[in-house]
Every structure is written in structure tokens, then in C-alpha cells.
Amino acid sequence: QVQLVESGGGLVQAGGSRRLPCAASGLTFSTYTMGWFRQAPGKEREFVAAVWWSGARTSYADSVKGRFTISRDNAKNTLYLQMNSMTPEDTAVYYCAALNSGKYLLPADYDYWGQGTQVVVSL
């Protein structure tokens, strides 16, 4: 049984930082492309970042490029999202997801999902 468990959410002041871990189990973590998505109230779930199996290749949404960093530790089966210079527009539920192969920008591309962790950025 595949499990992806996000943590690290909470309240952050604008301009602050937060790191979200996602612990994976039940899959061969090192062979999966991993992604972060987010969903704000009343909006569709949107792509944030992805990292390929070795960690050498990454991709980011324009809205987070230069502020967020995705990384992975295959020895610990853990995915990370480091968020810096946060703004209220970053307020959302953040989800990690696992992709076996293929396209990576849409939620439908992913095979497994976590339950999400809420991040609120206040002024």
C-alpha cells in the first residue's frame, strides 16, 4: 500500500520560509518522479514543482521559480519543498504526488497522492 504523508504546514508570516517534507512508503521511491501541487480555496489544483528520480533534474512553476526549491533524499524515501520569500498568494493546501513515467504538469499525470498539508501566509 502506497502512502505519501506530508507535514510541516502551518502559519507563516509574509517574507518567511517553510520546509515541507513528504515521507513515502510502499513504492520504490527512487524510481518515481515526485511532484508538489497546491490548491487554494476556490481554485483548481496547480503544479508547483517536480523532481526526477536522481534529483538532478527539476521543474518549477513560474510563480515559485527562484523562491521554492524541490529536493529528495532517496535514502530516506523523503521529498522536500523549501519555500522562501513567501507571500499570501502562496496560501494553499500543499500535496505531494508520485509519477511513474510520462508527463508531469497535470494532476491526472500522477499515480499516487498524499492527503495534503495546509500552509497559510499572513501579512
Q: Give tens-digit pLDDT for 58-105.
A: 999 999 999 999 999 999 999 999 999 999 999 999 999 999 888 999
Q: How many CB atoms lie within 10 A of CB 90?
A: 22
Would you state the pLDDT for residue 101? Answer: 85
Confidence band for 35, pLDDT divided at 50, 70 and 90: very high
Q: Burial letters for 38-68: b for 16+ Cβ neighbours within 10 Å, e otherwise?
A: beeeeeebebbbbbebeeeeebbbeebeeeb
Q: Which residues fall within 8 angstroms of residue 10, CB to CB, at 6 or more apart?
A: 18, 118, 119, 120
Cα angle for residues 116, 120, 123 (degrees, 5° grid): 165
SS3 88: helix
Please say whether the beta carbons of 57 and 34 come within 8 A.
no
Run of H or E including 98: strand 92-99
User: What is the reported pLDDT for 97?
Assistant: 98
